[in-house]
Every structure is written in C-alpha cells, then in structure tokens.
Amino acid sequence: MSLRIVVCVKYVPDATGDRKFADDLTVDRDDVDGLLSELDEYAVEQALQIAEEADDAEVTVLTVGPEDAKDALRKALSMGADKAVHVEDDDLHGTDVMGTSLVLAKAIEKTGYDVVIAGMASTDGTMGVLPAILAERLGVPQVTLLSEVKIEGGPNGIVTGRRDGDTASEQLEASLPAVVSVTDQSGEARYPSFKGIMAAKKKPVESLELDDLDIDADEVGLAGAWTAVDSAAERPARTAGTIVKDEGEGGKQLAEFLASQKFI
Amino acid sequence: MAEILVYVDHVDGAVRKPTLELLTLARRIGEPVAVALGNGAADTAAVLAEHGAVKVLTADAPEFTEYLVVPKVDALQAAYESVSPAAVLVPSSAEGKEIAARLAVRIGSGIITDAVDLEAGDEGPVATQSAFAASFTTKSRVSKGTPVITVKPNSAPVEAAPAAGAVEALAVSFGALATGTKVTARTPRESTGRPELTEAAIVVSGGRGVNGAENFGIIEALADSLGAAVGASRAAVDAGWYPHSNQVGQTGKSVSPQLYIASGISGAIQHRAGMQTSKTIVAINKDAEAPIFDLVDYGVVGDLFDVVPQLTEEVKSRKG
Ligand SMILES: Cc1cc2nc3c(=O)[nH]c(=O)nc-3n(C[C@H](O)[C@H](O)[C@H](O)COP(=O)(O)OP(=O)(O)OC[C@H]3O[C@@H](n4cnc5c(N)ncnc54)[C@H](O)[C@@H]3O)c2cc1C
Ligand SMILES: Cc1cc2nc3c(=O)[nH]c(=O)nc-3n(C[C@H](O)[C@H](O)[C@H](O)COP(=O)(O)OP(=O)(O)OC[C@H]3O[C@@H](n4cnc5c(N)ncnc54)[C@H](O)[C@@H]3O)c2cc1C
C-alpha cells in the first residue's frame, strides 16, 4: 500500500519585500511578491526524502490561499511532489488560524493521508501552532518541531524524530497516521531542477472550494474569524543612532555609551 | 473579580521568569489562578503566591513527562472547566504555544500568539502583537470564546503582589490522544551558568564575522563582563561555531532585552525578526553599509577583534 504524504505549504509575502497591512487589516498581497514560505521548503524536502525511502509513496502538496498561491504549489511540484490540492474561495479572505486549520483538516481528510507534514511556522503569521491544531482536529498524534524525522513500516508504520526544546532534546515516537512539523535544522531543501520545473507543469493541481469541503462561508473569512485585529500601526522609524568609526578607541567609546545608558 | 488562568512554565518546581511576567499581566485583567503541572508542581506555589496567584492548581503524573504536549492540554482543560476563567494566559514557548492552541480548539475559542503587551478592554483583553519582523504593531482581541493568549518573554515587569496562593490538587483524566506521542528519550540541556537567552536583560551575539568556534570566546568574555546571555546568528550556528539553542531570529529565539549587542552580524531580516524589539541596540561591524546599522542606537564601524576585547576590558575596569 502506498504511503500517502500530505504537505501543507503556505503562500506568503516575501519577507525581504515591503510587507504591510491592507485597509481591512489583512495582509496586503498586492504590493509585495508572494512565494512558498521558505520554512515550508523544509517540509517538502523531508516529505520527498521519506517518499524516496519508502517502497511506495505519494506526496501531495496542499495550500489554502488566493489564486496566486498556485505559485507555491508549482514550486513544491517542481521540487518533486507528485500532485497538488489548492483550496481557493473568495470567502476565505481574512481567515484566522482556527478557520485555516478547519479548512486544511477537511481537505486533508478528503485527500486521504497517512502522514501530514508542515513547516515549523509560516514566515508571515509566524504563529507556529497550526500543526498542533491540525493534530487536535484530525485526532491523531502530533510529532512536531522535529530537527530529524524518519518513517518506517509504510502506512501502518511509525514516525520517530528529534525535538530540540528549550530545556531538553527529546526523542519522539508515534504510530501513523500522524501530523509532523519540521524545523529548518532538518536538512537543506533541494533546488528544483530544470527537469523538475518542466515536469511540474504537467502535474495535476486539484482546486477545491468551501462547498466541496462542506464548510459554510460564515465559519471562515474575516466575519467568521475568532480573533479581530483592531489596529495595525507601522513602527516609527528608529531615530538615527550614533555611529562611530573605530580609530583605536572604538571599544572605549562604546563603553562610554553603555555607561551613559547605565548598563555599566 | 474574574479569574484568569495562568499556565506555569517551570523546571522541577523552579518557576521561569516569563510566568512571573504573566502574573503581572493577568492582574491587569482579573485574579490570577495558576496551573502548575509535572514534577515539582506544588513547589511553585510560594513564588506564585508572592507574585499574585490567588490559587495554585497542581497535578503530577508520569504522563506529563512520558508523552508530548497532549497530557498537559488535558490538564489545562480540566483547570479551565473547574474555574471558568475570563482568559487563559500561557508563556510563548514552543510547547506553551502548542498547549494553548490545542486548548483553544477544544474550548471553541480564538487564540492570539506572541502578545508583547496586554490591557483590559471594553470587549475583553486587548493584546499587542508585533508583526512582520517587528515593523508593525497590531492590537487584537479574541472575538469568540474565552480568550487564549500566549505572551512573549520580557513583555511585562515582574512585580511582587502577595496573594493567598492556596494550593489545590487538580483532578485530571487523560483522554485517548494523551498517549499518542511517546517521549522515548530526553537529554537535558547543559547549563552554561549564564542567564537564559530569552529572559536576559542583556544579550551579546556573534555572527559570521566571529569567524570560528574558537573565537566565540571573545563574545562570551564580553557577555560575562556584563552578566549577559550569548546569542548567535544562524550563519554562526550553521557553521557549527555555537549551539542552535543560542540562535537569535525567526527560527531561533526571539529576544527583547534591555540591551542587544551584535558583533559581526549583518542584520538580515530573519535575524532582525528575533531582536528588533530590544530596547537599546548596539552593533560592531567592519562594514559601514551593513543593514544592522539602520537599527542601532550606537554603532561602531570596526574590526570586532579589536573593538570587543577593548570593550570587555573597559567594562571590567569600570565595574572594578
Ligand atoms: C502578522 C499576522 C499575525 C497573525 N496573528 C494571528 C493570531 O494571533 N491569531 C489567529 O488566529 N490568526 C492570526 N493570523 C492569521 C494566521 O497567520 C493565518 O490564519 C494562518 O494561515 C495560520 O497561521 P500561521 O500562518 O501563523 O501558521 P503557523 O502555525 O505559523 O504555520 C505552520 C505551518 O502550517 C502550515 N500552514 C499555515 N497556513 C497554511 C495555509 N494557508 N495553507 C497551507 N498550509 C498552511 C504550513 O506548513 C506552515 O509552515 C495572523 C496573520 C498575520 C499575517
Ligand atoms: C527561512 C529562513 C530563516 C532564517 N532564520 C534565521 C534566524 O533565526 N537567525 C538568523 O540570524 N538568521 C536566519 N536566517 C539567515 C539570514 O538570512 C542570514 O543569512 C544570517 O542572519 C546571516 O548571519 P550573519 O549576519 O552572521 O552573516 P553575514 O550576513 O555573512 O554577515 C556577517 C557580517 O560580519 C561582518 N564582519 C565580518 N568580519 C568582521 C570583523 N572581523 N569585524 C566586524 N565585522 C565583521 C561583515 O561585514 C558582515 O556584515 C534565516 C534565513 C532563512 C531563509
């Protein structure tokens, strides 16, 4: 039996661009280029490695996002994923993490899965909680924030991994199905090859709407959100600091500054 | 007054500073009821009481250490059901966020993560968040259910406010999911004797410019002269010069100290995401064009191998 791997990938505004909020306090997607969240490339990479190790496996990449989010799916397909699912619906605009996780959970159940792999956090919302919520919603073990991951025994097998926490490094084990998330310590993501990019154009991308997932419009979107953003203000530019060139006394001058600020 | 559930982050009974900060914030919106789980849970009561906990709910069971996250969610949910609080506050550690998020789904509530401030508002607590690598500040609310909010370290002062802190045993029954993810081994992180990175008042960080594991000694010497924690950029960590647990930035620790000193760090957006909210920022870099200088209160354009040791000597002599 084939090991079914679903990778959740998010389409995000480029972190090196001028990211900002739109008038309705959602992310402004018009003025900044979007891309596959860099931290999700690590999830795609681990999925591909697990698939390569397994006798028989299929990697599906899944995103919830606007039309342009197809770019993120294409990138993942060109890295080597087999097929893609895109949940796209006008009513999704402004969805918070509870709505997003609901949509992802329903889409994952519809697609069928033995393991779900996600990134450690998106590079825009950066909440870092979605994988845990997915595990809760799907009712399967969470094996999250792994810097090393391994799956053995196919669809009825086990997942093991290492989680490097604040106070300890832990070795984890769970049986499939499970939700996994991986950190950027899990291994560099491969670059798409020319062949991969060409092949990606022919790979299937399935589009789903809320109706297909039996989700009502009022369960998601800005109106259905369980959180509300009241204001977003650009941080005032820092007042220009003092910059000195070291002419041999740089360390002493810096000590003088630190003393003036009462740090020493 | 409304009760506010506060999840206690502790190691064998020693309460970590972010929890004491949470008690300060909790008192702005109600009466803190603390929930301490695992080995040493009851030992937390005295310090929690000193900082305003009216009640301390405790539970210990092997499940908390033998399985990942979910047993703690079961326990927090039991506390939630016994107290019916007006809000649930959890420290923004990786585990804290996961516990909070799963609780929020179960109790049908929205969640806000990584708040940097919290105030009472007309429609419930208002959280300040810092977005897009701290280039924006937002104010948000949970609009459905009981607000579940995780708060970053260094978001509030630690204040003494003696309260009863009555200890009560919390009855927890673990659900079927609790034993889903087994912790098969655990290697505790070795203590360096330096302050905890996320809690430190001063952080001294080194980057690619430090150029070698052996040279991190000069960064550590400066840190020790100031009683600071040591941080590193991802470039330095990836090169194997310093442990990943000391990485500052988007995928490392997010720090917000009174003083941040960056040496040989260019200031890439992912690094800034983890330190931009520091109160005072100082950088030493030989490239006058390095983006880090856009953030600094004081910058020295120079070779860190000259500037850092001189600074260390000066700090030591001034401190006597
Ligand atoms: C600045 C900012 C702050 C926000 N704060 C909050 C908040 O406090 N509360 C709240 O409820 N919502 C918040 N949101 C909205 C929230 O970010 C989105 O709903 C989001 O899709 C889920 O959270 P995340 O991206 O932060 O996920 P994370 O938990 O950081 O993401 C982890 C992983 O989940 C997967 N994933 C996340 N989103 C998708 C997706 N759309 N499609 C496929 N896979 C995905 C990816 O694998 C990703 O690596 C915020 C958004 C922004 C931009
Ligand atoms: C998804 C993602 C997540 C990331 N997460 C993080 C993160 O959490 N934290 C992080 O730090 N980075 C992160 N990065 C990496 C980030 O983009 C940068 O590559 C990294 O921060 C660069 O580290 P650096 O400043 O030490 O090195 P460089 O950018 O190479 O800068 C080195 C600096 O040292 C200076 N220098 C050299 N020699 C000397 C000397 N003798 N004296 C004084 N100055 C000297 C140079 O002028 C230069 O400015 C992430 C990247 C991605 C894509």
- Interval B290-315: pLDDT, tens: 999 999 999 999 999 999 999 999 99
CB contact at 8 A, B173 and B78: yes
Ligand 1 atom closest to residue A121's alpha carbon, by position in its atom list: 30
| Gap between the Cα atoms of A258 and A253, Å rounded | 9
Q: Is any Cβ of chain A less than 8 angstroms from the Cβ of B183?
A: yes
pLDDT at B320 (0 to 100): 78
Sheet holding B148-151, edge to edge: A227-234, B136-142, B126-131, B111-119, B148-151, B87-91, B3-7, B31-37, B55-59, B166-169
| Gap between the Cα atoms of A20 and A29, Å rounded | 8
A128 pocket-lining for ligand 1 (C-beta < 6 Å): yes
Residues 68-87 of B with CB under 8 A from A: 68-70, 73
Ligand 1 atom closest to residue A226's alpha carbon, by position in its atom list: 11
Q: Is any Cβ of chain A less than 8 angstroms from the Cβ of B102?
A: yes
Q: Residue A155 to residues A50, B168, B178, B219: CA-CA distances in angstroms?
A: 12, 44, 22, 49
- Tokens 């505004």: give the residue: A13
Residue of B nearest to A129 (CA): B98
Q: Given CA atoms B150, B156, B158, B159 in this order, what sign does their dihedral have?
A: negative
| Gap between the Cα atoms of A97 and B235, Å rounded | 31
Enter the ipTM.
Answer: 0.97
Q: Which of A124, A8, A11, A15 is nearest to A70 (CA)?
A: A11
Could you tell me the distance, in angstroms and rounded to a whole number, from the CA of residue B271 to the centre of ligand 2?
7
pLDDT at A236 (0 to 100): 87
Helices (H), ranges, A112-216: 130-138, 194-200
Report which residue type is found at B159: E
Residue of A nearest to B289 (CA): A243
| Gap between the Cα atoms of B132 and B138, Å rounded | 10
Start-to-end C-alpha separation, chain B: 50
Angle value at C-alpha A39, between A98 and A176, nearest 5 degrees: 65
The single-letter DSSP state of residue B284 is E
pLDDT at B222 (0 to 100): 98
Residues of B in contact with A250 (CB under 8 A): 284, 300, 302, 306-307, 310
| Gap between the Cα atoms of B319 and B276, Å rounded | 28
CB contact at 8 A, A143 and A106: no
Residue of A nearest to B12 (CA): A167
pLDDT at A72 (0 to 100): 98
Residues of B in contact with A218 (CB under 8 A): none
Segments of chain A with pLDDT less than 50: none
Residue B274 main-chain phi, psi, to 5 deg: -105, 0
| Gap between the Cα atoms of B223 and B261, Å rounded | 9
Structure tokens at B222: 């400066």
HSE (CB half, 13 Å, CA atoms) of A91? 14
| Gap between the Cα atoms of A224 and A58, Å rounded | 34
Could you tell me the distance, in angstroms and rounded to a whole number, from the CA of residue A41 to the centre of ligand 2?
20
| Gap between the Cα atoms of A57 and A51, Å rounded | 5
- What size, in residues, is chain B? 320
CB atoms within 10 A of CB A211: 11
Residue range A189-224, pLDDT digits in tens: 999 999 999 999 999 999 999 999 999 999 999 999
| Gap between the Cα atoms of A65 and A58, Å rounded | 23
- For each successive 10 residues of chain B (320 residues), what is the average pLDDT? 95 96 98 98 98 98 98 98 97 97 98 97 96 94 98 96 97 97 95 92 98 98 98 98 96 96 97 95 98 97 98 94
List residues bridging with B234 in a β-sheet: none
Residue range B76-128, pLDDT digits in tens: 999 999 999 999 999 999 999 999 999 999 999 999 999 999 999 999 999 99
Structure tokens at B144: 């459905």
Start-to-end C-alpha separation, chain A: 66
Distant-in-sequence, close-in-space partners of A166: CB < 8 Å, separation ≥ 6: B93, B94, B95, B189, B245
pTM exceeds cut of 0.90: yes
Residue range B247-256, pLDDT digits in tens: 999 999 999 9
Helices (H), ranges, chain A: 38-53, 70-79, 97-111, 130-138, 194-200, 221-224, 250-260
Q: Which of B306, B134, B320, B71 is nearest to B209 (CA)?
A: B306
CB contact at 8 A, B207 and B231: no
Cis peptide, bond prior to residue A177, ω within 30 of zero: yes
Could you tell me the distance, in angstroms and rounded to a whole number, from the CA of residue A126 to the centre of ligand 1?
6
Give the mutation candidate from A39, A162, A263 for the B interface (greatest B CB count, under 10 A).
Answer: A263
Q: Residue A65 to residues A11, A208, B90, B268: CA-CA distances in angstroms?
A: 7, 11, 29, 27
3-state percent helix, strand, coil for chain A, nearest multiple of 5: 35, 30, 35
Residues of A in contact with B250 (CB under 8 A): 121, 123, 126
Looking at beta carbons, which pairs linking A159-164 to residues 24 or more positions away fall under 8 Å? Answer: A159/A115, A160/B184, A163/B68, A164/B244, A164/B245
Angle value at C-alpha B178, between B175 and B180, nearest 5 degrees: 125
List residues bridging with B112 in a β-sheet: B149
Inter-chain contact B293–A246, Cβ cutoff 8 Å? no
Residue B283: exposed, middle, or buried by beta-carbon count in 10 A (0-12, 13-18, 19+)?
buried
Structure tokens at B259: 């003083």
pLDDT at B266 (0 to 100): 98
CB contact at 8 A, B102 and A131: no
